[in-house]
Amino acid sequence: MTKPIKKIVILGGGTAGWLSAGLLAAEHPHLSVTLIESANVPILGVGEGTWPSMRNTLQRIGIKEIDFITQCDASFKQGSKFINWRNLNEGENYYHPFMNPQGYEHTNLHASWQRIAPTQKFADVVNMQSFVCQAALAPKQLQTPEYAAVTNYGYHLDAGKFAEFLKKHCVKHLNVTHITNDVTEVINDDKDYIASLKTNNNGNITGDLFLDCSGSRARLIGEHFKSEFIAQDHILFNNSAIAAQSPNSHPTQNIASATLSTAQSNGWIWDIALPTRRGTGYVFSSKYQSDESATDTLKSYIAKSTSEQQAEQLNYRVLKFSPGYRQKFWIKNCVAVGMSAGFLEPLEASALAMVELSISMISEQLPQNRTHMSQLETRFNDRFSTRWERVVEFLKLHYVLSERDDTPYWQNIRDLTTTPERLQNLLKLWQFQPPSRFDFIENEEVFSSSSYQYVLYGMGFNTQTPQAQNAFTSAQAGDYFYQQNREKIAQYLKGLPSNRELLNYLLSNNRQPHND
């Protein structure tokens, strides 16, 4: 039990596998890192969005931002725009930007918003980033250093290209051993820890710590260790997606600064703008709509910005998933990362965020030996059980607040009986006070109270303005930050380039990528 951890083996590639390999190899160069992936498992390669945390992750791995942007067809993401989630009224939308409200650490601007500008959208009053997104502006100026920001940002990217880019970097610069082969057997030692993975042509691959990045199959954590899958389809109904890559209507058109999420009769459509194309997909429930009908829904959406002829010619892929997560993510010397740990739906970029949170905790608290590992196993499982519960609650929030009742799908998914009890209690509390940091006391919460505010008030939720003893002081602070935001809106709209302009500038000044 005191044998030191020297060799890490990762089963599965894709974004989860190669991000894990990159971070562990970069931060623990004394360890041996081996990644095994099958040649028979294709990477989906749909458009994908990240959180701002990805900037820090890429830096930790040792990747230059320009190389990432160049080779992954990446653009800048500053939040999400939700269209027709509240109701079907024309032009109904709201933003969930990445930046916190002005003065977030000092005061809660809900009361000031209600007093000063109650007819305006919450995000517009407390934050300038929705205006930046609406104008398709970049999150930084032309000369801003890599990974630095004027407004907080993550990325839109091509997932297939991203995985390939990470693979090249890991193998060439971080000495990760890459094995392309199928695993045929998981071999235990006498303590029921994994001793090795038997492959078709490379023999037995031994290791001390094994990461399961095998996707929804969960080859190690599910099939081998039998960690129970906790289904969430009674809360989050969606279990299918139709994905397509659609062309930009013109090579010089604006590149959206936010992921567009447009509610449909039985789900929602994602629309992610990349420099050369758009990644689109319809997420829906097979209980309420067939694959054929869902494909027609996505075709109609794409045709609005291209043409019916172009929409008909695209390749549409059907993706199936089961919303839920494992009861345990870490068992003995095996840790699940990515879809092997769980998957809900691609709303709010939660999937990649959970990958980053998982591998960061593994890297920062890497066990020294098996005795240490058994302690971390409990901590990791407790932490991520809570995190998955929180993600379920936050995603459900988008549905339960809707006023839509145009289909059985919306009628049922809004029903409070399908809503987690903790979220029901929070909604009762938030009738009298806005979400605050006191509602989310866990270390490293997945979504902060400001995210809940953006969704709550974007969806028209009503909170009574509290008459606290410090109301006058809060009002003064609120007025100050409201005015500060007004000034920043004008300043940023004038001083920031468009996304297209910044990307063209970066690419024209860096013709030769450094990470080949």
- Largest Cα–Cα distance of the chain, in whole Å? 73
Contacts made by residues 417-420, CB under 8 angstroms, sequence distance 24+: 418/234, 418/235, 419/235, 420/235, 420/389, 420/392, 420/393, 420/396
* Spatial CB neighbours of 417, under 8 Å, sequence gap ≥ 6: none
| d(C-alpha 381, C-alpha 209), whole Å | 16
How many Å apart are CA 258 and CA 270, to the nearest integer?
11
Q: How far apart are CA 354 and CA 344, in angstroms?
A: 11
On whether the CB atoms of residues 178 and 12 are closer than 8 A, the answer is: no
| Residue 16 annotated as binding site | yes
Q: Would you say 14 is a known binding-site residue? A: yes
C-alpha distances in Å from residue 180, one per residue of 18, 41, 221, 355: 13, 11, 21, 22
Residue with tokens 């027709």: 84
Integer CA distances (angstroms), 423 to 118, 397, 427, 476, 485, in order:
25, 8, 6, 32, 31
Crossing angle for the helix pair 14-27 and 350-364, to the nearest 10 degrees: 30
13 is in an annotated binding site: yes
> Is 91 annotated as a binding-site member?
no
Report the interhelical angle of 159-173 vs 14-27 (nearest 10°). 30
- Taking alpha carbons only, the member of 407, 48, 414 closest to residue 236 is 414
Cβ(278)–Cβ(47) under 8 Å?
yes
DSSP string, 12-60: --HHHHHHHHHHHHHH-TTSEEEEEE-TTS-----EEE--THHHHHHHH
| Known catalytic membership, residue 488 | no
Catalytic residue among 77, 167, 332, 396: 77
Place of tokens 């009002």: 475
Rounded CA separation 218/214 (Å)? 5
Q: Answer yes or no: are the C-beta atoms of 358 and 337 closer than 8 Å.
A: yes
- Distances, alpha carbon 13 to alpha carbons 32, 44, 78, 159, 339, in Å: 17, 12, 28, 12, 12
183 is in an annotated binding site: yes
Is 478 labeled as ligand-binding? no
Flag whether 243 is marked binding: no
Known binding residues for L-tryptophan: 348
Task: Point out the residues that are catalytic.
Answer: 77
Known binding residues for 7-chloro-L-tryptophan: 77
Known binding residues for FAD: 13-16, 183
Known binding residues: 13-16, 77, 183, 348
